[in-house]
Amino acid sequence: MKRSALAPILVVAFSAVAGGWLLQQGADRADNLYVRVRVLQEVVDRVSNSFVDEVERDRLYDSAIDGLIRDLGDPHSSFLPASDYEDLRIRTEGEYGGVGLEVVDRGGYVTVVSPIPGGPGGRMGIRAGDQFYEIDGIAADTMVTDQAVELLRGRPGSEVTVRMLRPGVEEPIEFTIEREVIVLKAVPFSVMLDEQVGYVPLLSFRETSATEIRAAIDSLRAEGMKSLVLDVRGNPGGLLDQGIAVSDLFLSEGQGIVETRGRDERQNETYAAAHPDQYPDMPMVVLVDQASASASEIIAGALQDHDRAILVGETTFGKGSVQSLYRLTGGDVLRLTTAKWYTPAGRSIHLDPDSRFAPLDEDADRAYSITGQLIEPIGTEGRPEFESGAGRTLYGGGGITPDLFVYPVTLTAEESSGVLRLFRRGGGFSIALFNYAVEYIAEHPDLELGFSLTEGDVADFYESLGNGEDRIDPGDFAAAGRFVRYHMEREIALQAWGDEAGFRQLQSYDRQLSRAIELLRNAESPEDLITVATDAELDAIPDR
């Protein structure tokens, strides 16, 4: 009896549900925005009212927004609540303290693109490729870039403790960094390398970058410079208009520099040189590496596309997207990637994190350079091909591929193992290095540039690292000998005489620079340089 009484009710209930479902098929449910918004509201209401534990309704909406942004798979898009945005605006426009690291979301972690030269993070030993594991005890593995940056910034003189993951090191490395006001010159120095070749390092793109570059070049030309090495290795980028302005110095009026393309046609824009080439007869090599990003890639791509310069080094980072800020109800702000950058030849600068191109040597183990940077030699196989203005083959697919692959001095597997042991000491190694350099300079008042360290000097430094459980094994220290000596020389020169001296002291280690000088010595014009580079049989075989 009960069964027969309930049956009609169940049938009616099922029919009502089924009827609603069938009616909905007339309009694609996925495209019915009203239904989707209503469902979201219902889910929030149900969870807020009925979940076993009390949940704040605002947090549910925030979680939904964060999930939406995260699902885009774009590390540069984010949602900023009004309070966070106002704090960010004040810190950005005013004086603030930081740790001097350029960071980006990559591989699920906030990752260091490049330590800002001279900044506290770099001095403590944090390197490009390191990933944030914790920031002041807060887990960073779920953070987006903006969240990490906010925690890293603070009052100058205050400290922040971070734990970093480093490829090849099993446990996180701890660093305690004192925040400083980050103010840098875009061009810290410029020098003549010989009677004809000049060298200008460009560290960042800030308001005065183009002015500083031009002043440096004009000064070197007054000393007799005929050809130029422009170094953007480790340059994390910066202001777009300065990337365009620096490119404009070397291109003919009307030549394209960079193009932005977005789904909204209002985001589509082409930037071109507005002035004649300021140095039309000057051959030019641009040095690039895996940490050259953003505006650095705009310059490298534009000069390569127009055959104005030869690029030497490694494939660049691949940060080529444009972010727009949208004010929302209540003062919240949405930062959204709305366009991507393309070179004049049509190559996308932006590297999809999921892209995987073939390594130059399938059997080669990843190794560290003498500077301590992990080397990942990526070739051109599988990349789309383009043509330069002169008909040379260029490669797209994200990042800017150099004309000539030249890799830094690379450590052996045994040496790399020793270096990894040093890395595990975190900031302790860098602090010991700094302290030793200061003492060494004080004890050697007649020290001159080009000095050589003795085995006794290296042994003294080892003793300064201290004893105890964390003492570095003598075998590991010996294995890392070339790395240790390089950084001892660098630190002593920097502390004694500054950036230019540090560069001069270590110039003999710089294979990329040596190749650039070799090319320029055989070229009297930009056209000659292209011919010299072509005759050198430029291909994807690594010079390591």
List Cβ neighbours of 446 (8 Å cut-off, separation of 6 or more): none
Q: Name the token pair of 321.
A: 């997207």
d(CA 200, CA 197): 10
The verdict on whether 417 is a catalytic residue reads no
Cα dist. 483→203, 422, 423, 499 in Å?
23, 10, 11, 19
DSSP helix, strand, coil percent of the chain (3-state; round to 5) = 40, 20, 40
Residue holding tokens 């918004």? Answer: 37
Amino acid residing at 43:
V
> How many CB atoms are closer than 10 A to CB 444?
13
Say if strands 173-178 and 78-80 run parallel, antiparallel, or are unpaired.
unpaired
The catalytic residue among 105, 247, 319, 388 is 319
Residue holding tokens 């027969």? Answer: 4
> How many CB atoms are closer than 10 A to CB 30?
8
The catalytic residue among 247, 294, 369, 388 is 294
d(CA 434, CA 388): 46
Q: Are 329 and 420 in contact (CB under 8 A)?
A: no
Question: First vs last Cα of the chain: how many Å apart?
Answer: 87
The catalytic residue among 105, 277, 289, 305 is 305
List Cβ neighbours of 516 (8 Å cut-off, separation of 6 or more): 229, 285, 287, 312
Cα dist. 372→2, 91, 304, 398, 510 in Å?
79, 32, 29, 25, 14
The verdict on whether 185 is a catalytic residue reads no
Q: What is the DSSP letter of 358?
A: P
Longest CA pairwise span in the chain (Å): 109
Task: Classify each residue of 57-72 as buried b or exposed e, where b means 16 or more C-beta atoms within 10 Å of its C-beta.
Answer: eeebeeeebeeebbee
Cα dist. 451→372, 448, 492 in Å?
22, 6, 10
Shortest CA distance to 175 belongs to which of 141, 142, 131? 131
d(CA 502, CA 494): 5
Query: If you write DSSP's letter for every residue of 458-490 in order, what string do you get?
Result: HHHHHHHT--STTPPPHHHHHHTHHHHHHHHHH
Residues catalogued as catalytic? 294, 305, 319
